[in-house]
Amino acid sequence: MGDGGKGVTNRIDQLRQEILEKTRELVRLREGKKEFQAGSSVVPYAGRVYDEEEVAAGVSSMLDFWLTLGPEGAAMEKELSEFLGVRNCLLVNSGSSANLVAFSALTSYKLKERRILPGDEVITAAAGFPTTVAPIVQNGAVPVFVDVDPLTTNGRADQLEAAYVEGKTKAVFFAHTLGNPFDLAEVKRFCDEKGIWLIEDNCDALGSKYDGKWTGTFGDLSTQSFYPPHHLTMGEGGSVNIVSKAILKTCAESFRDWGRDCWCPSGKDDTCCKRFDWQMGDLPKGYDHKYIYSHLGYNVKPLDPQAAIGRVQLKKLPAFIAARIRNWEFLRRQLVGLEDVIDFMLPTHATAWSPSGFSWVAGKPVVEPSWFGFMMLVKPNARFSRTDLARALDQAKVGNRMLFGGNLVRQPAFVQLRQDSQGKAFRVIGDLSGSDRIMNEAVFVGTYPGLDEEKLSYIASIIRSVAKA
């Protein structure tokens, strides 16, 4: 390159640095500390927490204009897998897509006798977010709903045996609800004993630990969501985590990338060194491997600028986790004395909470949730209802949510599904009384890192005022 070329390159580098510094300055000015006004300032239950570095990373990636998943995506997949300690991570465009791709991967013919076929059964929890269950139905399998423990919000491991049918049950698909790990020791023991798959929906729980180990690393596959309320954000986005089995990466990647058999990254060809030497299906030998499709897949990749933002967020994850734990504890201390009218959420294997910490079931692993929210159950004997509390919080501009879909079998989609299938679309174990209690009594507020003690104290004051009215 001549001197003229070097001059252009230097000018490009200079302009790039100027743009990024101006971007950082803009964000600092725009996002300066805003004064909190109790009663008029909105206190969301969750939201993105970022600074100028995330914006600069996104802008820098946009200046390269790669757009589709590329070098930033590859780097984030590697960094996330290293953080979790799993074999691979595959970025997708949402947590819902992550659940769809993870479950679809288990339907691949490449898994031979272990593949999930239409009509096979999958054990899941009756209360939670519907996209844990939707992929089961969308792939023609049959959800078998076990109840949840209303204090942990997680599927009841003691009902697994009652839900199991030899030769029909192929997997367990549970979520770590609100960041609280489900009983991984018992669920994994059950899956290993029966020789069935375990998928962890880890979308609420990035950074949670069970017996000292990250959730999302116990099953065969796990999933993440990077939607703004979650533990880190790419705007939209998610991940399928392949814990140890290489074949599951092949299957999941195919379903993510149109169903194709080729594993070449975008912009690269012939990484298998036999692009025109394959013979698959009824295609002629030598048909271009980039256009051989082994599955009926999707295109659910995120954009590279999103991954650039996610990489900055991932560096902040330890601080985010610590903040969620700290905020939950602060709220719980603020609400001491309301136990006669409110049942407060407990970690799995915990028996009680006190200002000095949790009490645990003897002999069970310690659980360390990275809390997605602070959930309360308004007791039936209280002078106020869950709706009264939710309405008061809403009027005070405090964000709050029910526990997602509550008892899912009572949702219109599942009522219709049962009618259309004449009761054959899913099975239910027991009376789902815990799920009904969640549906009728549960409400949660935020614990996300954007909340400070001033806002948390305000949240607690609204709850106390309703409880003591």
Catalytic residues: 230
Q: Which helix (H) or strand (E) holds 445?
A: strand 442-446
* 27 half-sphere exposure, CB direction, 13 A CA radius: 16
Angle at 318 (CA atoms; ends 313, 320), nearest 5 degrees: 65
Strands 197-201 and 169-175: parallel
Q: With left for phi above 0 and alpha for psi between -120 and 50, is residue 267 left, alpha or beta?
A: left
- Measured between its terminal Cα atoms, the distance across the chain in Å is 78
Q: Is the dihedral of CA 142, 146, 150, 153 positive or negative?
A: negative
Please state the length of the chain: 469
Contact between residue 466 and residue 445 where contact means Cβ atoms under 8 Å apart: no
Contact between residue 146 and residue 126 where contact means Cβ atoms under 8 Å apart: yes
DSSP 407: B
Residue listed under structure tokens 């909470």: 353
Contact between residue 69 and residue 301 where contact means Cβ atoms under 8 Å apart: yes
CA-atom Rg of the chain in angstroms: 24
Q: Is the dihedral of CA 145, 147, 152, 157 positive or negative?
A: negative
Q: Environment class of residue 412 by beta-carbon count within 10 Å: exposed (0-12), middle (13-18) or buried (19+)?
A: exposed
**In whole angstroms, what is the distance from residue 306 CA to residue 69 CA?**
9
Please give the single-letter amino acid code of residue 170.
K
Which among 22, 14, 29 is positioned nearest to 59, based on CA atoms?
22
